[in-house]
Amino acid sequence: MEYSREKAVGLLLSFLAAAAALALSVIMSRVFFHRKMSVESFGAAFSNAGFMGIPLVSSVIGPDAVYYAAAFVAVLNILQWTYGVYLITGNKSAVSAKKILLNPVMLSFVMGVVLFFLPVRLPVFISEILGTISQMNAPIAMLTVGFYLAQVSPKEFFCDKHSYAVCAVRLIVIPLLTAVMLAFLPLGDDTLKLTVLILAAAPVGSNVAVYAQIHGGDHKRSVC
């Protein structure tokens, strides 16, 4: 995407809108789930904005809207590596600035922003390769979820009442409140608002299981 002042302002506004939407999600997760329910809080607070949200935004609004989605995913990633890790571990020392700054999502986002502001055009073959890789988003997410689902029995999957509560908060309560909040924010761009709303309304992310396993949480329960 070529640089323009309007797009630069839109990127800043998308950061602010993403921060507001995710702050609302975190607050609602704490309202409905107490501190010991770390997996439930993580699942309710953080949507699958990357693997599921971006393909949805691209299909519903168009590829150009993915530009706004990148800011949401960046803020989401920062919160998952800080607040999310603290939720899973209960230990503030487990939060690492190095992991936040050097993980692939943040590095990719920074590179994208630098290329946006610099008068540099990537060769066509590189753009085509990146476009092909981006189409793997949803399939990779499904493979990851399938890997974890295979470790859980059907009884565990359907009989946990907390799972239904998480789904209700993540798919109904938070999207409705986010829509109301966005209606009152003076962003001026309906495309930006709709992008943030779609990402905020995405289902529970597979990261809840991944983070739980990495940081010693109950990753089997997180799948349910």
The predicted-structure confidence for 133-180, as pLDDT tens digits, reads as follows 777 767 777 787 777 777 777 766 666 777 888 889 999 999 999 999
For residue 24, tell me if it sits in a domain: yes
For residue 69, tell me if it sits in a domain: yes
| pLDDT for the residue 223 | 53
For residue 113, tell me if it sits in a domain: yes
Q: What is the residue-wise DSSP string for 83-151?
A: IIHHHHH--GGG--HHHHHHSHHHHHHHHHHHHHHTT----HHHHHHHHHHHTTHHHHHHHHHHHHHTT
pTM of structure: 0.77
Average pLDDT, the chain: 81
Task: List CB contacts of 76: < 8 A, sequence separation 6 or more.
Answer: 18, 22, 46, 47, 49, 50
For residue 74, tell me if it sits in a domain: yes
For residue 57, tell me if it sits in a domain: yes
For residue 127, tell me if it sits in a domain: no
For residue 130, tell me if it sits in a domain: no
How many domains, in total, are found in the chain? 1
The predicted-structure confidence for 15-50, as pLDDT tens digits, reads as follows 899 999 999 999 999 999 887 788 888 888 999 888
For 34, the domain range is 5-118+137-223
Which amino acid is located at 29 in the chain? S
